[in-house]
């Protein structure tokens, strides 16, 4: 019988065939594409994190503490959803703000995306409006009321950045109230059992808004030089001495009032009053740039402590 040899099945011939070379090149191209895509995604994620980096301690964590205590938190799933909502809305505000404050950031925070050259101003503006659309869609998956919260935050941000409220003492404070309240309502709504606000939640948000209005100057002390460069008139610039004395009074007074209003126990009240007094004294006595940065960090810890007090109205957990 004649022996038939099919050369195309010879492994040596397969490895050296044009088909094998073509497959090898295709795999290389796919690998290069995936590596470049991963590198690009990593770059843009890093840029997004840099946009929000300074506000994890000032907004993300205090708002989370407030929502978890006020709603209160129902599950890890609801907490995770709230985190996502907060972060994207925080990105919305920060991209808008930083697209208009590059000169200030060159002095105070040169590592941010715009002054460091990671993104251009026109790209930041386009990104801002893309995030607005994303946030509106995200809120619409819950209820129409949450869409209104997002719209309120967008309007507040527009007034703050585009209409110049950031350069006005009272206008800046009112916009800060609008921002904080929007975050608090949104986060509390998502974390709550029925995605709705009850009497305790509404009361807590109103009190928090007034608290922010009277203490928001705490964030302006470390930024005095940058604000001066942009021609802004903040409370610490307008009244350097009185603003520090008022901050001392406000943190102490609020500590007493909140302890009384939410009816916490003597040990909890003593802790908050002592903490608030320490924060106020720091602002009044230690006035270097580094001291003001540290004071603002400690202020936000005090703010988180103040924001968890509504939990006592539901659980009496702070009765001691």
Q: Buried (b) or exposed (e) across 74-111, using 16+ Cβ within 10 A?
A: eeeebbebbbebbbbbbbbbbbbbbbbbeebbeebbee
pTM over 0.85: no
CA dist 258 and 90 (Å) reads 27
Given CATH 1.25.40, say whether it is the number of domain 54-315: no
Using N-to-C axis directions, what is the helix angle for 76-99 and 169-191, rounded to 10°?
A: 160
pLDDT band at 319 (very low <50, low <70, confident <90, very high): confident
Say whether pLDDT at 95 is over 60. yes
| Residue 40: per-residue pLDDT | 84
What residue segments make up the domains of the chain, in order of their start? 54-315
Say whether pLDDT at 2 is over 50. no
Query: Which range is most confident: 76-85, 164-173, 220-229?
Result: 76-85
| Residue 243: per-residue pLDDT | 95
| Residue 6: per-residue pLDDT | 44
| Residue 19: per-residue pLDDT | 64
pLDDT band at 7 (very low <50, low <70, confident <90, very high): very low
Preceding amide of 72 cis, omega within 30: yes
pLDDT tens-digit series, residues 231-282: 778 899 989 999 999 999 999 999 999 999 999 999 999 999 999 999 999 9
CA dist 115 and 251 (Å) reads 34
| Residue 224: per-residue pLDDT | 85
pLDDT-above-70 percentage for the chain: 91
| Residue 208: per-residue pLDDT | 93
Mean pLDDT of the chain: 86
Q: Token pair of 67, please?
A: 């929502």
Angle at 104 between CA 213 and CA 301, to 5 degrees: 40
Q: Give mean pLDDT, residues 75-99.
A: 92
Query: Which range is most confident: 24-38, 113-127, 174-188?
Result: 174-188
Cβ atoms of residues 268 and 198 within 8 Å: no
- 255/39: higher pLDDT: 255
CA dist 85 and 157 (Å) reads 16
| Residue 303: per-residue pLDDT | 93
């Amino acid at each position: 019988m004649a022996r038939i040899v099919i050369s195309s099945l010879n492994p040596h011939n397969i490895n050296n065939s044009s088909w094998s070379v073509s497959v090898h090149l295709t795999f290389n191209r796919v690998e290069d594409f995936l590596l470049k895509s991963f590198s690009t995604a990593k770059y843009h994620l890093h840029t997004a994190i840099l946009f929000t980096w300074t506000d994890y301690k000032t907004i993300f964590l205090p708002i989370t503490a407030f929502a978890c205590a006020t709603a209160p938190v129902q599950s890890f799933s609801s907490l995770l959803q709230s985190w996502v909502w907060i972060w994207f809305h925080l990105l919305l505000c920060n991209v808008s703000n930083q697209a208009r404050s590059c000169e200030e950031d060159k002095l105070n925070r040169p590592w941010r995306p715009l002054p460091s050259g990671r993104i251009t101003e026109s790209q930041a503006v386009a990104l801002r409006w893309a995030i607005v659309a994303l946030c509106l869609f995200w809120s619409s998956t819950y209820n129409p009321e949450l869409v209104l919260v997002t719209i309120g935050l967008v309007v507040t941000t527009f007034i703050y950045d585009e209409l110049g409220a950031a350069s006005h003492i009272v206008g800046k404070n009112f916009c800060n109230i609008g921002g904080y309240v929007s975050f608090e309502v949104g986060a509390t709504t998502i974390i709550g059992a029925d995605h709705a606000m009850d009497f305790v939640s509404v009361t807590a948000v109103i009190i928090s808004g007034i608290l922010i209005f009277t203490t928001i100057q705490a964030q302006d002390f470390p930024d005095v030089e940058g604000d001066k460069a942009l021609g802004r008139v903040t409370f610490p610039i307008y009244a350097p001495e009185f603003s520090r004395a008022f901050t001392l009074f406000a943190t102490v007074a609020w500590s007493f009032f909140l302890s009384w209003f939410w009816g916490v126990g003597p040990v909890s009240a003593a802790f908050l009053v002592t903490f608030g007094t320490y924060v106020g004294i720091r602002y009044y006595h230690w006035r270097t740039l580094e001291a003001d940065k540290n004071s603002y960090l400690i202020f936000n810890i005090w703010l988180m402590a103040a924001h968890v007090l509504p939990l006592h109205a539901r659980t009496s957990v702070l009765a001691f």
